[in-house]
Amino acid sequence: MIHSDFSGGENLAGNTNHDVSQMFNQWMNEKAAFDESGYRAKFLDVSYNGKVVGHYSQIVWAKNSKLGCGLSYCEKLSYKNLLVCRYETGNYLNQQVYEESNITTIDSTSLNSPEENDNSSGYNIIFNHRFYYHLFIVIILAVLF
């Protein structure tokens, strides 16, 4: 698989079956190496200690507000099923991927209006990789159906 000349970020995955979650998890499985790298504060490379981290960093890049994904089948390729996700921005060297919050849980008060929360500054919800996984599945289902 070869990346296009798209100006934003792009993740590519392929497999021989039609399991979209397996392809997405190829990217999510980079999380441990990404966390170990310390690249969250300053992105230095798409790999760390010989392990790829650039797909995961692209998914969690905080400044992304636009995402488009497509799934394709091509009989002539060794990977018959191809998943492509394009991102507005991301993986810029020496930039922060995201700012870590000191809030680590979501409780029912997080869903209330800011005035009803103990935290007067507004919502403090941290989205972990499961959030992105479920968001991704919703997007893929919307594309397929």
90: region left, alpha or beta (phi > 0 left; psi from -120 to 50 alpha):
left
Domain extent at residue 18: 12-99+138-144
pLDDT at 104: 56
Give the chain's length: 145
In CATH, what number is assigned to the domain containing residue 32?
A: 3.40.33.10
pTM of the entire predicted model: 0.68
Q: What is the domain count for the chain?
A: 1
- Kindly state whether residue 3 falls inside one of the protein's structural domains: no
92-131 pLDDT per residue, tens:
999 999 887 766 555 545 444 444 444 444 444 444 444 5
- Kindly state whether residue 2 falls inside one of the protein's structural domains: no
| Phi, psi of 59, deg, nearest 5 | -65, -40
